[in-house]
């Protein structure tokens, strides 16, 4: 299955933000440390299993938010740190992320979500 550019962009953005956080907070010279890598892999796994499928919104604006509690808290910390820095370090990615969030607000997915399994 071909992944839409929007979803690939979201995954890339998550990596870049996590890399920024890991570099500054955990002093990693490249890649991600063990715990950041686990959080990153978990995020990607949630996106790949997203109940909205290819119609998914950006996780940040998702009304469901399927992440388990501790991962949700950890990702919030990363986003809070890296979000404002994205504007300066990766302006194009930041603009596209805002664009993707706006598109979701205008065109919400049609699929009604009744139950969701949080793993
Ligand atoms: S349900 Fe929401 S939070 Fe979970 S992967 Fe899909 S868009 Fe992201
Ligand atoms: Zn780290």
Q: Report domain extents, the chain.
A: 5-106
> What ligand has the least distance to the C-alpha of 56?
1
Mean pLDDT value across residues 81-96: 90
Q: Whose CA is nearest to atom 3 of ligand 1?
A: 65
Please give the pLDDT value at position 35.
Answer: 97
Please give all residues whose beta carbon lies within 6 A of any atom in ligand 1, as ranges. 46-47, 50-52, 56-57, 59, 62, 64-67
Residue 69 is predicted with a pLDDT of 94
pLDDT beyond 80 at 3: no
How many whole angstroms from 12 Cα to the centroid of ligand 2? 16
pLDDT given for residue 109 in this prediction: 55
Structural tokens at position 88:
């300066």
pTM of the model: 0.85
Which ligand ends up closest to the CA of 19? 2
> Which among 39, 67, 72, 38 has a CA at the least distance from the CA of 51?
67
Lookup: tokens for 100 = 């993707």
Residue 84: pLDDT above 70? Answer: yes
Long-range CB contacts for residues 11-16, cutoff 8 Å, separation at least 24: 11/44, 11/47, 12/93, 13/86, 13/93, 13/96, 13/97, 14/40, 14/43, 14/44, 15/40, 16/82, 16/86, 16/90, 16/93
Sign of the C-alpha dihedral computed for residues 101, 104, 105 and 111 taken in this order: negative
Pick from 98, 78, 106, 87: which is nearest to 20 by CA?
Answer: 78
Mean pLDDT of 12-41: 97
pLDDT, tens digit, for every residue of 47-69? 999 998 888 888 888 888 899 99
Model pLDDT, residue 99:
81
């Amino acid at each position: 299955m071909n992944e839409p550019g929007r979803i690939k962009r979201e995954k890339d953005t998550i990596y870049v933000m996590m890399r920024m956080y890991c570099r500054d907070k955990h002093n990693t010279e490249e890649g991600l440390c063990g715990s950041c890598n686990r959080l990153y892999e978990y995020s990607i796994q949630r996106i790949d299993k997203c109940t909205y499928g290819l119609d998914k919104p950006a996780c940040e604006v998702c009304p469901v938010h399927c992440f388990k509690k501790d991962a949700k808290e950890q990702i919030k910390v990363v986003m809070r740190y890296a979000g404002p820095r994205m504007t300066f370090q990766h302006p194009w990615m930041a603009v596209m992320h805002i664009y993707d969030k706006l598109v979701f607000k205008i065109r919400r997915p049609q699929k009604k979500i009744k139950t969701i399994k949080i793993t």
